[in-house]
Amino acid sequence: MVTQIEWSDDLLINVDAIDADHKKLFNLMADIFASASHGADAINRAIGALASYTKEHFSREEESMAGAQYPALEAHKYEHEHLVFQLEGLINRLMVSGAEAIDSELAKFLMNWLGGHIMTFDVKYAAYLRETGQHG
């Protein structure tokens, strides 16, 4: 079964740099599904790219928050740490199970993993930026 992960503009927070990163993360998640039929090496490369870019994105986002003096920075950083922990668990699962684990449950997990974070945490940061007249 081929499962798709697609970006939705419903996830826009209207902070250009962060929205661009989020779109790229969705593309990298979709690459995992596209790699399923190409073997373990392709899957591992796709997973590695997602993990690497996730950490880069979180770092950029946290730098932006620090520069904006975002009062919820520490809570947001903690959430990022939790998301990286979940991603590492996912990576371990995929390393053991391989292509068999690339299914609709994985798609649901990834959508909730990133989509939930955006709609719960990142929208609050975007609102703070608007309230304080900053652009991130």
The model's pLDDT over 5-37, given as tens digits with 9 standing for 90+, comes to 889 999 999 999 999 999 999 999 999 889 888
The predicted model scores a pTM of 0.91
Residue whose entry in the numeric block shows the structure tokens 């899957």: 43
Predicted pLDDT of residue 69:
97
Quick one: three-class SS letters along 83-107? Answer: HHHHHHHHHHHHHHHHHHHCCHHHH
**pLDDT band at residue 1 under the 50/70/90 scheme:** very low
Distance separating alpha carbons of residues 22 and 126, to the nearest angstrom? 13
